[in-house]
Chain A
Amino acid sequence: MIRIFEGHEPPGANPVLDAMHHARKRVFVDLLGWDVPVVAEAFEIDQFDDDHAIYIVASDDSDAHEGSIRLLPTNRPHVLGTIFPSLCDASVPVNPQIFELSRLCLSRGLRAARRLEVRNALATAVVQFALQRGIASYSCVADSTWLSQILSLGWTVRPLGIPQMIAGLPTGALLIEIDADTPAKLRAAGTHVPMRILPTAAIDREAA
């Protein structure tokens, strides 16, 4: 099941978001050794997890976290603009129609085939969400461990600058273009997961 949450909530307020922050801690801190803040020794929560962050979360039938990704508006502080602006040759893309993708997290312990399914479902949801919201593109910071996965989804990706070595890994800024043809590109790549995303309460509020 894929759900969309708009706005960060502190630990204890929302079990699905808690499970996501816990999974993020297990992946980014425990496994990858990133130097990012940990709250209450259990939850990875940084300065960009705020009211403007949007989370797309995949859970299994028993509501356990399988995967998640964070969307940040680029006209507010975000990872590329705040931490890695030097990865962009020109100015960092900042536009209400451009969001940034970060913290793509697949739960540890998922087996290989399931990881691909969850990754594909999250990507499809990211595309559907963009089409519903009029988001034209996503920026992101990608290191070599994720790059081929991002590209293999089938969408159109452009470099924003020259990749550099960061923390020992080739790392670059990318722009993922989203338009009406993007779902067909995912289908051609075999990564499209048929789904219907129900509008969240927040979308309803904004539309009203």
Chain B
Amino acid sequence: MFDRDDYKQIVSILGETSDDNRVYEALERLTFVLGFDRFAISHHVDLLHPPVGAYGLTNYDSDWLNEIISGQYFLDDPVQISCDGRNTGFLWPNPRMLETLTPRQRYIFEQGAKRNLCGGYTVPMHLPGEYAGSCTFATSRLETVPSESMPAAFFAVSFAFEAMRRVVRLRAGLELPAPPKLKPREREVLILLGRGKTYGEIADILHLSEHTTHEYAKRIMRAYGNIQRNNLIARALFDGIVTYPELLSMH
């Protein structure tokens, strides 16, 4: 069992700080309190060219970090891939993951194990309006980590992600721009665009003229800063203005 007071104090720090040095210190302390050696918290983005608003913190060795980035391990990392579509934390390596490893993924695992990153616990993070991300705690001896650590780690990670958001907001100096407000009709057109319909088809479905449909579409793209059609759909999904079920529905 780990030190409960230490844990609560660390989470309280993560709950109010907007200073990324303090976030780093708290996460490093947390890692040891929970029984792990290393942590890495980051958005799942192109680490070679991270977009604005993405963030990451880790106490991995700089050599290992360089190898991850220069070898582009993040593109194939089986732990990161396991985060897709799940909201619960998971231990790794696990049988399901090991069964499906590609040779390259096996290589990445082996390279990590050489650095004493033999196993760990990873918490995925998916929020509307934000890049997917995760926080990993790794260790050379997973069997020594108490099972009470997993739910405790999950909670602390959520606090850490929120602290990182405050850091980013503070850096941006202002609130991140809000997604544009669309009228119900504009949203209908957007959903049909997302389903790959032509303007003519959308006009038929909504009983509009093709010209009016085109005008709606232009208005939506203007609201998004004259975005291209393909980017528009991605962006609207990202902002939560439309959802995958709406786009994938066949009717």
Interface residues of A (CB under 8 A from B): 89, 111-113, 116, 144-145, 147-148, 151-152, 156-159, 161-165, 169-172, 188-190
Contact = CB atoms under 8 A, between A and B. Distances in A.
Contacts of A190: 175-176, 178
- In this complex, which of B155, B162, B241, B246 has the most chain A Cβ atoms within 10 angstroms of its Cβ? B155
A145 B128 contact: no
B151 A113 contact: no
- In this complex, which of B15, B176, B178 has the most chain A Cβ atoms within 10 angstroms of its Cβ? B15
Given A157-B15, A159-B12, A188 B239 contact: no
A113 B186 CA distance: 14
Nearest to A171: B151
Contacts of A171: 151
Nearest to B128: A112
Given A89-B8, A113-B240, A157-B15, 15 more contacts: A89-B5, A111-B243, A111-B246, A112-B240, A144-B87, A144-B88, A144-B158, A147-B158, A151-B15, A158-B8, A161-B8, A165-B150, A170-B88, A190-B176, A190-B178
A85 to B, nearest CB: 16
Where chain B touches its partner, the secondary structure class is: helix
Given A113-B179, A152-B165, A163 B8 contact: no
Contacts of A147: 154-155, 158
B89 interface: yes
A148 B150 CA distance: 16
Contacts of A89: 4-5, 8
Contacts of A189: 165-166, 169
Contacts of A169: 88
Nearest to A144: B154
A113 B242 CA distance: 8
A112 B87 CA distance: 17
B161 interface: yes
B152 interface: yes
Contacts of B27: none
Contacts of A144: 87-88, 154-155, 158
B192 to A, nearest CB: 15
B87 A145 contact: yes
B83 interface: no
Task: Give the contact-size bracket for chain B.
Answer: 35 or more
B248 interface: no
Contacts of B162: 148, 151-152
B127 interface: yes
Interface in B1-39: 4-5, 7-8, 11-12, 15-16
Contacts of B55: none
A1 B207 CA distance: 32
A162 B158 contact: no
B148 interface: yes
B125 interface: yes
Contacts of A170: 88-89, 150-152, 154-155
A31 to B, nearest CB: 15
B159 interface: yes
B12 A112 contact: no
A151 B176 contact: no
Nearest to B159: A151
B207 to A, nearest CB: 22
Given A148-B161, A152-B127, A170-B154, A162 B241 contact: no
A89 B8 CA distance: 10
A159 B8 contact: yes
A163 B150 CA distance: 9
Contacts of B125: 148
Contacts of B169: 188-189
A80 to B, nearest CB: 15
